[in-house]
Structure 1
């Protein structure tokens, strides 16, 4: 079965190091919370809001072990007025036997506001 694992995080500044650190933390947490390996990944889509352009977030993913062959595409998020700023969103498409309710979507920092109903913190508290 193919499933999507969503994740998002925010940064405070449009700086290369901050973007890469936040993206690395997000990818690492998503992998740990869902127990997948790079071989399980079909592809990854990463988007950033228009106010972020200091780095390609895919660079952070490449720092993870065995991610060098994972297909990844970076894009710009739709600039909806009033939407969350300085946000990095990720969709990892994996092959898994898990059901949709078993997937742990990861929202860090201010991105928790995007989907508090799916945030890992709420899932853990509700079990």
Structure 2
């Protein structure tokens, strides 16, 4: 079965190095927490908010060994007034037998506000 695995992170400034670094950090955390291998991934969608234009976050996945052939697409998030700024979102499409409740969606930095239900004490 193909499952979607979500993640998001915010950055402080619009700069290519920070965008790629944050995306790589998030991707590695999603991969680690969910035991994902590149072979099990159908594709990865990456969206950024309209205020991030200095680099392609997909470059981050190319820095991870074994991820050369995974299809990755970057796009711009819908610019809804009042929405979280400087945010990078990932959606992994993974072939897995893990049930929905076993998937670990990862939200880092300021992006934790997007899913407060995942961070209840």
The TM-score range, normalised by the shorter chain, is: over 0.9
2: CA distance between counterparts of 1:90 and 1:16? Answer: 17
3-state SS, counterpart of residue 118 of structure 1: helix
1:49 Cα deviation after fit: 0.2
Residue 80 of structure 2 is aligned to residue 80 of structure 1: yes
1:1-24 deviation per Cα after TM superposition (whole angstroms, max 9, x unaligned) = 110000000000001111111000
1:117 CA displacement: 1.4
Distance in 1, matches of 2:109 and 2:2, equals 28
SS in 1 for 2:90: strand
Q: How far 1:36 sits from its partner (Å)?
A: 1.1
> Secondary structure of 2:117's match?
coil
How many angstroms apart in 2 are the aligned matches of 1:51 and 1:31? 26
Q: Identify the residue that residue 49 of structure 2 maps to in structure 1.
A: 49
Instruction: State the secondary structure of the residue aligned to 2:65.
Output: coil
Matches within 5 A, 1:5-84: 5-84=5-84
- Partner residue in 1 for 2:96: 96
Q: Deviations over 1:19-41 (max 9, x none)?
A: 11100000000000000100000
Deviating beyond 2 angstroms after TM superposition, the runs of 4 or more aligned structure 1 residues are: none
Once residues 52 and 34 of structure 1 are traced to their aligned partners in structure 2, the CA distance between those partners, rounded to angstroms, is: 27
SS at match of 2:50: coil
Query: Counterpart of 1:117 in 2: which secondary structure?
Result: helix
TM-score for both structures, normalised by structure 1 = 0.93
TM (norm. structure 2) is 0.97
Structure 1: 5+ residue runs without aligned partners? none
